[in-house]
Structure 1
Amino acid sequence: MLLIINIGNSSLRFGIFDNNYNLKCNCSWIISSNPHRSLDEYIFIFRNTYYQYGIFSKFIQNIVIGSVVPSLTNVVKQSLYEIHKIKPIIVDRNSDSPIKHDSHQLGTDLYANAIAAYTLYKNQNTTYLVVVDFGTALSFTCIDKYGSLQGVIIAPGVNSSLNALIGNTAQLSKDIKLKKPPSILGQYTETCIQSGIIYGYLSMVEGLIYRVNQELKTNCFVIATGGFAHIYTPLTKKIHITDKLHTMKGLKILFHWNH
Protein backbone atom coordinates (compact mmCIF):
# COMPACT_ATOMS: atom_id res chain seq x y z
CA MET A 1 0.00 0.00 0.00
CA LEU A 2 0.94 3.65 -0.46
CA LEU A 3 0.68 6.18 2.37
CA ILE A 4 0.19 9.81 1.28
CA ILE A 5 0.51 12.78 3.64
CA ASN A 6 -0.53 16.30 2.70
CA ILE A 7 0.94 18.70 5.27
CA GLY A 8 -1.05 21.93 5.40
CA ASN A 9 -1.07 24.94 7.68
CA SER A 10 -4.18 23.80 9.56
CA SER A 11 -4.09 20.02 9.25
CA LEU A 12 -2.24 16.93 8.09
CA ARG A 13 -4.37 14.74 5.82
CA PHE A 14 -3.41 11.08 5.46
CA GLY A 15 -4.57 8.69 2.78
CA ILE A 16 -4.02 5.00 2.11
CA PHE A 17 -4.00 4.03 -1.57
CA ASP A 18 -3.07 0.92 -3.52
CA ASN A 19 0.38 1.01 -5.11
CA ASN A 20 -1.08 0.74 -8.62
CA TYR A 21 -2.43 3.63 -10.70
CA ASN A 22 -5.92 3.40 -9.22
CA LEU A 23 -6.80 6.73 -7.57
CA LYS A 24 -9.40 5.28 -5.20
CA CYS A 25 -8.55 6.06 -1.58
CA ASN A 26 -8.99 3.11 0.80
CA CYS A 27 -8.87 5.17 3.99
CA SER A 28 -8.34 8.83 4.89
CA TRP A 29 -8.06 10.83 8.11
CA ILE A 30 -6.96 14.23 9.40
CA ILE A 31 -5.00 15.43 12.42
CA SER A 32 -4.36 19.06 13.33
CA SER A 33 -1.05 20.67 12.39
CA ASN A 34 1.10 21.52 15.39
CA PRO A 35 4.70 22.64 14.84
CA HIS A 36 5.45 22.28 18.56
CA ARG A 37 4.89 18.52 18.81
CA SER A 38 8.00 16.44 19.37
CA LEU A 39 9.16 13.50 17.29
CA ASP A 40 7.97 11.06 19.97
CA GLU A 41 4.55 12.72 20.09
CA TYR A 42 4.08 12.33 16.35
CA ILE A 43 5.19 8.70 16.48
CA PHE A 44 2.65 8.05 19.24
CA ILE A 45 -0.15 9.85 17.34
CA PHE A 46 0.59 8.01 14.08
CA ARG A 47 0.74 4.59 15.75
CA ASN A 48 -2.47 5.31 17.66
CA THR A 49 -4.25 6.37 14.47
CA TYR A 50 -3.15 3.19 12.69
CA TYR A 51 -4.61 1.17 15.55
CA GLN A 52 -7.84 3.17 15.43
CA TYR A 53 -8.33 2.56 11.70
CA GLY A 54 -7.11 -1.04 11.71
CA ILE A 55 -4.02 -0.28 9.61
CA PHE A 56 -1.04 -2.62 9.79
CA SER A 57 2.13 -0.61 9.26
CA LYS A 58 3.94 -3.58 7.70
CA PHE A 59 1.58 -3.45 4.70
CA ILE A 60 2.69 0.10 3.77
CA GLN A 61 5.40 -0.20 1.13
CA ASN A 62 5.79 3.41 -0.03
CA ILE A 63 5.28 6.86 1.50
CA VAL A 64 4.96 10.22 -0.25
CA ILE A 65 4.77 13.63 1.45
CA GLY A 66 3.61 16.93 0.03
CA SER A 67 4.04 19.91 2.32
CA VAL A 68 3.55 23.68 2.50
CA VAL A 69 4.92 23.81 6.07
CA PRO A 70 8.72 23.31 5.95
CA SER A 71 9.03 23.28 9.75
CA LEU A 72 6.77 20.20 9.90
CA THR A 73 8.11 18.27 6.93
CA ASN A 74 11.23 16.88 8.58
CA VAL A 75 9.62 15.79 11.87
CA VAL A 76 6.79 14.03 10.03
CA LYS A 77 9.32 12.39 7.70
CA GLN A 78 11.43 11.20 10.65
CA SER A 79 8.37 9.95 12.54
CA LEU A 80 7.23 7.85 9.61
CA TYR A 81 10.73 6.49 9.07
CA GLU A 82 10.90 5.38 12.71
CA ILE A 83 7.61 3.51 12.30
CA HIS A 84 8.03 2.01 8.81
CA LYS A 85 11.79 2.04 8.18
CA ILE A 86 10.89 3.44 4.76
CA LYS A 87 12.38 6.69 3.47
CA PRO A 88 9.43 8.91 2.40
CA ILE A 89 9.52 10.61 -0.99
CA ILE A 90 9.13 14.39 -0.70
CA VAL A 91 7.44 15.99 -3.73
CA ASP A 92 7.13 19.68 -4.56
CA ARG A 93 6.75 22.06 -7.51
CA ASN A 94 10.11 20.89 -8.91
CA SER A 95 9.06 17.23 -9.07
CA ASP A 96 8.39 15.77 -12.51
CA SER A 97 4.79 15.89 -13.72
CA PRO A 98 2.73 16.59 -16.86
CA ILE A 99 2.20 20.21 -15.73
CA LYS A 100 4.22 22.96 -17.36
CA HIS A 101 5.02 26.03 -15.24
CA ASP A 102 7.88 28.41 -14.51
CA SER A 103 6.83 29.50 -11.00
CA HIS A 104 9.40 29.62 -8.20
CA GLN A 105 6.69 30.07 -5.55
CA LEU A 106 3.99 27.54 -6.46
CA GLY A 107 2.85 25.64 -3.34
CA THR A 108 2.95 21.85 -3.43
CA ASP A 109 -0.79 21.68 -2.75
CA LEU A 110 -1.58 23.96 -5.70
CA TYR A 111 0.81 21.96 -7.89
CA ALA A 112 -0.94 18.73 -6.88
CA ASN A 113 -4.34 20.34 -7.56
CA ALA A 114 -3.24 21.28 -11.07
CA ILE A 115 -1.86 17.78 -11.74
CA ALA A 116 -5.03 16.03 -10.58
CA ALA A 117 -7.23 18.42 -12.57
CA TYR A 118 -5.22 17.88 -15.76
CA THR A 119 -5.06 14.10 -15.35
CA LEU A 120 -8.72 13.59 -14.47
CA TYR A 121 -10.56 16.31 -16.38
CA LYS A 122 -8.50 17.38 -19.40
CA ASN A 123 -11.03 15.74 -21.74
CA GLN A 124 -13.89 17.96 -20.57
CA ASN A 125 -15.46 20.08 -23.28
CA THR A 126 -13.50 23.19 -22.35
CA THR A 127 -10.01 24.58 -22.80
CA TYR A 128 -9.44 25.57 -19.17
CA LEU A 129 -9.77 23.95 -15.75
CA VAL A 130 -9.98 25.73 -12.39
CA VAL A 131 -9.50 24.13 -8.97
CA VAL A 132 -11.08 26.05 -6.09
CA ASP A 133 -9.48 24.92 -2.82
CA PHE A 134 -11.39 25.87 0.34
CA GLY A 135 -8.41 25.35 2.66
CA THR A 136 -6.53 27.53 5.13
CA ALA A 137 -6.38 29.92 2.19
CA LEU A 138 -9.00 30.11 -0.53
CA SER A 139 -7.14 29.42 -3.76
CA PHE A 140 -7.98 29.18 -7.45
CA THR A 141 -5.55 27.30 -9.69
CA CYS A 142 -6.10 27.51 -13.44
CA ILE A 143 -4.53 25.29 -16.12
CA ASP A 144 -5.37 24.60 -19.73
CA LYS A 145 -6.14 21.19 -21.22
CA TYR A 146 -2.55 20.98 -22.46
CA GLY A 147 -1.17 21.10 -18.92
CA SER A 148 0.10 24.69 -18.86
CA LEU A 149 -0.42 26.65 -15.66
CA GLN A 150 -2.33 29.86 -16.41
CA GLY A 151 -2.18 31.41 -12.96
CA VAL A 152 -3.36 31.33 -9.36
CA ILE A 153 -5.62 33.47 -7.13
CA ILE A 154 -5.18 33.40 -3.34
CA ALA A 155 -7.53 34.96 -0.78
CA PRO A 156 -7.94 34.55 3.00
CA GLY A 157 -9.53 31.22 3.89
CA VAL A 158 -13.06 30.85 5.22
CA ASN A 159 -12.06 29.68 8.70
CA SER A 160 -9.22 32.22 8.90
CA SER A 161 -11.66 35.06 8.25
CA LEU A 162 -14.20 33.71 10.73
CA ASN A 163 -11.54 33.32 13.45
CA ALA A 164 -10.18 36.81 12.77
CA LEU A 165 -13.67 38.30 13.03
CA ILE A 166 -14.51 36.53 16.28
CA GLY A 167 -11.05 36.97 17.80
CA ASN A 168 -11.01 40.72 17.25
CA THR A 169 -14.57 41.41 18.38
CA ALA A 170 -15.38 41.49 22.11
CA GLN A 171 -19.09 40.64 22.06
CA LEU A 172 -19.19 37.88 19.45
CA SER A 173 -19.65 34.24 20.45
CA LYS A 174 -16.63 31.98 19.98
CA ASP A 175 -18.91 29.11 18.95
CA ILE A 176 -20.24 29.99 15.49
CA LYS A 177 -21.16 26.95 13.41
CA LEU A 178 -20.18 27.28 9.77
CA LYS A 179 -23.40 26.35 8.00
CA LYS A 180 -25.98 27.81 5.65
CA PRO A 181 -28.24 30.25 7.57
CA PRO A 182 -32.04 30.15 7.17
CA SER A 183 -32.08 33.48 5.32
CA ILE A 184 -29.76 36.11 3.85
CA LEU A 185 -30.76 38.71 6.44
CA GLY A 186 -29.92 37.36 9.89
CA GLN A 187 -31.96 38.02 13.02
CA TYR A 188 -29.39 36.88 15.58
CA THR A 189 -25.64 37.41 15.79
CA GLU A 190 -24.86 33.81 14.82
CA THR A 191 -27.05 33.81 11.71
CA CYS A 192 -25.80 37.30 10.75
CA ILE A 193 -22.21 36.04 10.76
CA GLN A 194 -23.18 32.81 9.00
CA SER A 195 -24.79 34.84 6.24
CA GLY A 196 -21.70 37.01 5.83
CA ILE A 197 -19.27 34.09 5.79
CA ILE A 198 -21.38 31.70 3.69
CA TYR A 199 -22.97 34.04 1.19
CA GLY A 200 -20.13 36.55 1.25
CA TYR A 201 -17.57 33.91 0.32
CA LEU A 202 -19.99 32.31 -2.13
CA SER A 203 -20.33 35.66 -3.90
CA MET A 204 -16.54 36.03 -3.99
CA VAL A 205 -16.09 32.52 -5.40
CA GLU A 206 -18.76 33.04 -8.06
CA GLY A 207 -17.41 36.51 -8.85
CA LEU A 208 -13.83 35.29 -9.29
CA ILE A 209 -14.94 32.38 -11.47
CA TYR A 210 -16.92 34.88 -13.58
CA ARG A 211 -13.88 37.15 -13.92
CA VAL A 212 -11.59 34.25 -14.87
CA ASN A 213 -14.12 33.16 -17.50
CA GLN A 214 -14.28 36.73 -18.81
CA GLU A 215 -10.50 37.01 -19.01
CA LEU A 216 -10.11 33.66 -20.78
CA LYS A 217 -13.21 34.23 -22.93
CA THR A 218 -14.67 30.81 -22.14
CA ASN A 219 -16.40 28.89 -19.37
CA CYS A 220 -13.90 26.92 -17.30
CA PHE A 221 -14.60 23.51 -15.81
CA VAL A 222 -14.47 24.06 -12.03
CA ILE A 223 -13.42 21.49 -9.41
CA ALA A 224 -13.84 22.24 -5.70
CA THR A 225 -11.80 20.68 -2.91
CA GLY A 226 -10.74 21.48 0.64
CA GLY A 227 -12.38 21.21 4.03
CA PHE A 228 -15.30 23.59 3.38
CA ALA A 229 -16.06 22.75 -0.25
CA HIS A 230 -19.07 20.62 0.72
CA ILE A 231 -20.75 23.67 2.30
CA TYR A 232 -20.46 25.93 -0.76
CA THR A 233 -20.85 23.55 -3.70
CA PRO A 234 -24.60 22.90 -3.21
CA LEU A 235 -25.24 26.65 -3.21
CA THR A 236 -23.86 27.41 -6.69
CA LYS A 237 -23.98 26.18 -10.26
CA LYS A 238 -20.53 27.60 -10.99
CA ILE A 239 -18.80 24.54 -9.44
CA HIS A 240 -19.12 21.38 -11.53
CA ILE A 241 -17.66 18.73 -9.23
CA THR A 242 -16.46 18.40 -5.63
CA ASP A 243 -13.72 16.04 -4.47
CA LYS A 244 -12.33 16.39 -0.96
CA LEU A 245 -9.41 14.10 -1.91
CA HIS A 246 -8.49 15.98 -5.09
CA THR A 247 -5.15 17.20 -3.70
CA MET A 248 -4.28 13.73 -2.39
CA LYS A 249 -4.92 12.27 -5.84
CA GLY A 250 -2.53 14.84 -7.28
CA LEU A 251 0.14 13.76 -4.79
CA LYS A 252 -0.42 10.13 -5.78
CA ILE A 253 0.04 11.01 -9.44
CA LEU A 254 3.23 12.88 -8.47
CA PHE A 255 4.44 9.76 -6.67
CA HIS A 256 4.08 7.66 -9.82
CA TRP A 257 5.90 10.28 -11.89
CA ASN A 258 8.81 10.41 -9.45
CA HIS A 259 9.03 6.93 -7.89
Structure 2
Amino acid sequence: MLLTINIGNSSIRFGLFNNNYNLKCNCSWIINSNPHRSLDEYILLFRNIYQQYGIFSKLIKNIVIGSVVPTLTNIVEQSLYKIHKIKPIIVDRYSSSPIIHYSHQLGTDLYANAIAAYTLYNKENILVIDFGTALSFTCIDKYGNLKGVIIAPGVNSSLSALIGNTSKLPKIKLKKPPHILGEYTETCIQSGIIYGYLSMVEGLINRINQELKKNCFVIATGGLSHIYTPLTKEIHFKDKLHTIKGLKILFHWNK
Protein backbone atom coordinates (compact mmCIF):
# COMPACT_ATOMS: atom_id res chain seq x y z
CA MET A 1 0.00 0.00 0.00
CA LEU A 2 0.95 3.66 -0.45
CA LEU A 3 0.88 6.14 2.43
CA THR A 4 0.43 9.75 1.28
CA ILE A 5 1.12 12.64 3.65
CA ASN A 6 0.30 16.32 3.17
CA ILE A 7 2.08 18.46 5.78
CA GLY A 8 0.42 21.85 6.21
CA ASN A 9 0.86 24.74 8.60
CA SER A 10 -2.16 23.77 10.72
CA SER A 11 -2.56 20.05 10.14
CA ILE A 12 -1.08 16.91 8.58
CA ARG A 13 -3.41 14.85 6.38
CA PHE A 14 -2.71 11.15 5.78
CA GLY A 15 -4.22 8.91 3.13
CA LEU A 16 -3.77 5.19 2.53
CA PHE A 17 -4.11 3.96 -1.07
CA ASN A 18 -3.52 0.78 -3.01
CA ASN A 19 -0.21 0.83 -4.86
CA ASN A 20 -1.90 0.83 -8.28
CA TYR A 21 -3.20 3.89 -10.16
CA ASN A 22 -6.64 3.77 -8.50
CA LEU A 23 -7.27 7.05 -6.66
CA LYS A 24 -9.81 5.61 -4.21
CA CYS A 25 -8.56 6.28 -0.69
CA ASN A 26 -8.93 3.32 1.66
CA CYS A 27 -8.43 5.28 4.86
CA SER A 28 -7.64 8.86 5.83
CA TRP A 29 -6.95 10.73 9.05
CA ILE A 30 -5.67 14.09 10.20
CA ILE A 31 -3.53 15.36 13.08
CA ASN A 32 -2.57 18.86 14.22
CA SER A 33 0.78 20.25 13.07
CA ASN A 34 1.11 21.90 16.49
CA PRO A 35 2.33 21.53 19.15
CA HIS A 36 5.91 20.60 18.30
CA ARG A 37 6.56 16.89 18.86
CA SER A 38 9.80 14.97 19.26
CA LEU A 39 10.83 12.06 17.04
CA ASP A 40 9.79 9.52 19.69
CA GLU A 41 6.43 11.25 20.16
CA TYR A 42 5.69 11.05 16.43
CA ILE A 43 6.68 7.37 16.33
CA LEU A 44 4.35 6.61 19.25
CA LEU A 45 1.54 8.71 17.73
CA PHE A 46 1.78 7.00 14.33
CA ARG A 47 1.85 3.53 15.90
CA ASN A 48 -1.22 4.36 17.99
CA ILE A 49 -3.08 5.63 14.90
CA TYR A 50 -2.24 2.43 13.00
CA GLN A 51 -3.61 0.42 15.89
CA GLN A 52 -6.74 2.58 16.09
CA TYR A 53 -7.52 2.11 12.37
CA GLY A 54 -6.43 -1.53 12.20
CA ILE A 55 -3.55 -0.77 9.83
CA PHE A 56 -0.72 -3.30 9.58
CA SER A 57 2.46 -1.28 9.07
CA LYS A 58 4.10 -4.11 7.09
CA LEU A 59 1.48 -3.66 4.34
CA ILE A 60 2.76 -0.13 3.62
CA LYS A 61 5.41 -0.49 0.91
CA ASN A 62 5.73 3.12 -0.29
CA ILE A 63 5.44 6.57 1.29
CA VAL A 64 5.14 9.98 -0.37
CA ILE A 65 5.31 13.31 1.44
CA GLY A 66 4.33 16.77 0.25
CA SER A 67 5.05 19.59 2.66
CA VAL A 68 4.92 23.36 3.03
CA VAL A 69 6.59 23.18 6.47
CA PRO A 70 10.29 22.29 6.00
CA THR A 71 10.91 22.01 9.75
CA LEU A 72 8.29 19.26 10.00
CA THR A 73 9.27 17.36 6.86
CA ASN A 74 12.47 15.92 8.26
CA ILE A 75 11.08 14.72 11.59
CA VAL A 76 8.02 13.11 9.99
CA GLU A 77 10.27 11.44 7.42
CA GLN A 78 12.59 10.12 10.15
CA SER A 79 9.74 8.80 12.29
CA LEU A 80 8.19 6.93 9.36
CA TYR A 81 11.56 5.46 8.43
CA LYS A 82 11.96 4.17 11.99
CA ILE A 83 8.58 2.42 11.73
CA HIS A 84 8.65 1.13 8.14
CA LYS A 85 12.35 1.07 7.20
CA ILE A 86 11.21 2.80 3.98
CA LYS A 87 12.68 6.08 2.75
CA PRO A 88 9.73 8.31 1.78
CA ILE A 89 9.69 10.11 -1.55
CA ILE A 90 9.55 13.88 -0.99
CA VAL A 91 7.74 15.73 -3.79
CA ASP A 92 7.57 19.46 -4.45
CA ARG A 93 6.96 21.95 -7.27
CA TYR A 94 10.07 20.72 -9.09
CA SER A 95 8.86 17.09 -9.22
CA SER A 96 7.81 15.69 -12.59
CA SER A 97 4.12 15.88 -13.41
CA PRO A 98 1.68 16.11 -16.35
CA ILE A 99 1.11 19.85 -15.89
CA ILE A 100 2.99 22.93 -17.10
CA HIS A 101 3.92 25.77 -14.76
CA TYR A 102 6.64 28.38 -14.54
CA SER A 103 6.28 29.44 -10.91
CA HIS A 104 9.27 29.18 -8.59
CA GLN A 105 7.07 29.93 -5.57
CA LEU A 106 4.30 27.38 -6.04
CA GLY A 107 3.53 25.51 -2.81
CA THR A 108 3.53 21.71 -2.96
CA ASP A 109 -0.12 21.63 -1.85
CA LEU A 110 -1.18 23.96 -4.68
CA TYR A 111 0.90 21.94 -7.14
CA ALA A 112 -0.83 18.75 -6.00
CA ASN A 113 -4.24 20.46 -6.25
CA ALA A 114 -3.55 21.45 -9.87
CA ILE A 115 -2.32 17.96 -10.79
CA ALA A 116 -5.34 16.22 -9.27
CA ALA A 117 -7.72 18.66 -10.99
CA TYR A 118 -6.10 18.14 -14.39
CA THR A 119 -6.01 14.34 -13.99
CA LEU A 120 -9.49 13.80 -12.57
CA TYR A 121 -11.67 16.34 -14.39
CA ASN A 122 -11.88 16.79 -18.13
CA LYS A 123 -13.05 20.42 -18.13
CA GLU A 124 -12.04 23.52 -20.11
CA ASN A 125 -10.91 25.37 -16.96
CA ILE A 126 -10.80 23.96 -13.46
CA LEU A 127 -10.58 26.02 -10.28
CA VAL A 128 -9.57 24.40 -6.97
CA ILE A 129 -10.47 26.37 -3.85
CA ASP A 130 -8.56 25.15 -0.80
CA PHE A 131 -10.08 26.21 2.53
CA GLY A 132 -6.90 25.56 4.53
CA THR A 133 -4.57 27.68 6.66
CA ALA A 134 -4.65 30.05 3.70
CA LEU A 135 -7.58 30.38 1.32
CA SER A 136 -6.16 29.54 -2.11
CA PHE A 137 -7.54 29.44 -5.65
CA THR A 138 -5.61 27.36 -8.21
CA CYS A 139 -6.70 27.43 -11.85
CA ILE A 140 -5.62 25.00 -14.58
CA ASP A 141 -6.92 24.33 -18.09
CA LYS A 142 -7.63 21.06 -19.87
CA TYR A 143 -4.23 21.15 -21.56
CA GLY A 144 -2.38 21.10 -18.25
CA ASN A 145 -1.42 24.79 -18.24
CA LEU A 146 -1.46 26.41 -14.82
CA LYS A 147 -3.39 29.65 -15.38
CA GLY A 148 -2.58 31.19 -12.01
CA VAL A 149 -3.16 31.25 -8.26
CA ILE A 150 -4.84 33.54 -5.71
CA ILE A 151 -3.92 33.37 -2.02
CA ALA A 152 -5.84 35.11 0.77
CA PRO A 153 -5.80 34.85 4.57
CA GLY A 154 -7.46 31.65 5.77
CA VAL A 155 -10.78 31.59 7.58
CA ASN A 156 -9.41 30.34 10.91
CA SER A 157 -6.45 32.70 10.67
CA SER A 158 -8.77 35.69 10.32
CA LEU A 159 -11.03 34.50 13.12
CA SER A 160 -8.07 33.90 15.44
CA ALA A 161 -6.60 37.32 14.64
CA LEU A 162 -9.93 39.00 15.39
CA ILE A 163 -10.45 37.24 18.70
CA GLY A 164 -6.79 37.45 19.69
CA ASN A 165 -6.68 41.21 19.20
CA THR A 166 -9.98 41.96 20.95
CA SER A 167 -10.03 41.42 24.69
CA LYS A 168 -13.76 40.93 25.30
CA LEU A 169 -14.64 38.62 22.41
CA PRO A 170 -15.59 35.03 23.33
CA LYS A 171 -14.41 31.91 21.53
CA ILE A 172 -16.57 31.58 18.41
CA LYS A 173 -17.86 28.32 16.97
CA LEU A 174 -17.47 28.42 13.19
CA LYS A 175 -20.93 27.66 11.81
CA LYS A 176 -23.65 29.23 9.70
CA PRO A 177 -25.60 31.80 11.77
CA PRO A 178 -29.42 31.84 11.72
CA HIS A 179 -29.55 35.27 10.04
CA ILE A 180 -27.27 37.58 8.04
CA LEU A 181 -27.72 40.38 10.59
CA GLY A 182 -26.63 39.07 13.97
CA GLU A 183 -28.16 40.02 17.32
CA TYR A 184 -25.40 38.79 19.62
CA THR A 185 -21.62 39.07 19.38
CA GLU A 186 -21.20 35.40 18.45
CA THR A 187 -23.73 35.44 15.61
CA CYS A 188 -22.45 38.83 14.38
CA ILE A 189 -18.94 37.40 14.00
CA GLN A 190 -20.24 34.15 12.51
CA SER A 191 -22.07 36.16 9.87
CA GLY A 192 -18.94 38.16 9.05
CA ILE A 193 -16.71 35.11 8.80
CA ILE A 194 -19.15 32.79 7.03
CA TYR A 195 -20.96 35.17 4.68
CA GLY A 196 -18.06 37.59 4.35
CA TYR A 197 -15.74 34.84 3.13
CA LEU A 198 -18.51 33.33 1.03
CA SER A 199 -18.97 36.67 -0.73
CA MET A 200 -15.22 36.87 -1.35
CA VAL A 201 -15.17 33.32 -2.75
CA GLU A 202 -18.13 33.97 -5.06
CA GLY A 203 -16.72 37.35 -6.10
CA LEU A 204 -13.31 35.89 -6.98
CA ILE A 205 -14.89 33.02 -8.92
CA ASN A 206 -16.87 35.58 -10.90
CA ARG A 207 -13.77 37.71 -11.60
CA ILE A 208 -11.75 34.66 -12.67
CA ASN A 209 -14.54 33.58 -15.03
CA GLN A 210 -14.66 37.09 -16.50
CA GLU A 211 -10.90 37.18 -17.03
CA LEU A 212 -10.84 33.74 -18.69
CA LYS A 213 -14.06 34.52 -20.62
CA LYS A 214 -15.26 31.02 -19.70
CA ASN A 215 -16.78 29.60 -16.54
CA CYS A 216 -14.59 27.32 -14.44
CA PHE A 217 -15.55 23.98 -12.98
CA VAL A 218 -15.03 24.65 -9.26
CA ILE A 219 -13.80 22.10 -6.71
CA ALA A 220 -13.60 22.80 -2.98
CA THR A 221 -11.16 21.07 -0.67
CA GLY A 222 -9.54 21.73 2.70
CA GLY A 223 -10.71 21.47 6.28
CA LEU A 224 -13.52 24.04 6.12
CA SER A 225 -14.86 23.26 2.64
CA HIS A 226 -17.83 21.40 4.15
CA ILE A 227 -19.08 24.65 5.73
CA TYR A 228 -19.00 26.81 2.60
CA THR A 229 -19.89 24.37 -0.19
CA PRO A 230 -23.59 23.96 0.76
CA LEU A 231 -24.04 27.75 0.86
CA THR A 232 -23.26 28.48 -2.79
CA LYS A 233 -24.05 27.20 -6.26
CA GLU A 234 -20.68 28.43 -7.54
CA ILE A 235 -18.88 25.38 -6.10
CA HIS A 236 -19.66 22.27 -8.12
CA PHE A 237 -17.90 19.53 -6.17
CA LYS A 238 -16.32 19.01 -2.75
CA ASP A 239 -13.45 16.59 -2.11
CA LYS A 240 -11.54 16.86 1.18
CA LEU A 241 -8.99 14.34 -0.14
CA HIS A 242 -8.25 16.24 -3.36
CA THR A 243 -4.72 17.29 -2.33
CA ILE A 244 -3.52 13.86 -1.24
CA LYS A 245 -4.87 12.41 -4.49
CA GLY A 246 -2.57 14.87 -6.23
CA LEU A 247 0.32 13.63 -4.09
CA LYS A 248 -0.47 10.07 -5.11
CA ILE A 249 -0.33 11.08 -8.77
CA LEU A 250 3.00 12.82 -8.12
CA PHE A 251 4.30 9.64 -6.52
CA HIS A 252 3.56 7.60 -9.64
CA TRP A 253 5.29 10.22 -11.82
CA ASN A 254 8.40 10.30 -9.66
CA LYS A 255 8.90 6.86 -8.12
**Residues 2-21 of structure 1 mapped to structure 2, 5 A cutoff:** 2-21=2-21
Q: Return 5+ residue gaps in structure 1 as ranges.
A: none
* Pairing 1:185-204 to 2, within 5 Å after superposition: 185-204=181-200
Cα deviation, 1:122-171, whole Å, max 9, x if unaligned, reads x23xx211100000000000111100111100000000001111111111
Distance in 1 (CA, whole Å) between partners of 2:190 and 2:36 is: 32
- Of 143, 164, 167, the match for 2:164: 167
Q: Does 1:206 align with 2:205?
A: no
**Aligned mates of 1:86, 1:240 — CA distance in 2:** 38
Other-structure match for 1:110:
110
* Matching residue of 1:36: 36
- Separation in 1, partners of 2:56, 2:150: 40
User: Which among 194, 199, 215 is matched to residue 219 of structure 1?
Assistant: 215
Aligned equivalent of 2:119: 119
4+ runs deviating over 2 angstroms = none
Residue 36 of structure 1 and its aligned partner are, at CA, apart by 2.6
Tell me the amino acid that sits aligned with residue 156 of structure 2.
N
- Aligned amino acid, residue 149 of structure 1: L
Letter in 1 for 2:253: W
User: Do residues 71 (structure 1) and 71 (structure 2) align?
Assistant: yes
Shift of 1:35: 6.4
Match of 2:249 in 1: 253
1:146 aligns with 2:143: yes
Q: Does 1:135 align with 2:132?
A: yes
RMSD: 0.7
The residue correspondences of 1:229-244 to structure 2 (distance < 5 A) are: 229-244=225-240
2:180 counterpart of 1:156? no
Match of 2:84 in 1: 84
Instruction: Give 5+ residue unaligned stretches, structure 2.
Output: none
Tell me, in whole angstroms, the C-alpha distance in 1 between the residues paired with 2:120 and 2:108.
18
Distance, in Å, in 2 between the alignment partners of 1:244 and 1:225 is: 5
Structure 2 residue aligned with 1:181? 177
Paired residues, number: 255
| 3-state SS in 1 of match to 2:226 | helix
What amino acid does structure 2 have at the position aligned with 1:248?
A: I
- Report the identity percentage: 83
Deviation at 1:34, TM superposition (A): 2.8
- Normalised by the length of structure 1, the TM-score is 0.97
Shift of 1:37: 1.2
Distance 1:36 1:136 in 2: 17
Q: How far apart in 2 are the matches of 1:181 and 1:29?
A: 28
Corresponding residue for 2:98? 98
Cα distance in 2 for partners of 1:229, 1:252 equals: 21
Cα offsets for 1:103-124 (capped at 9, x unmatched): 1110000000000000011x23
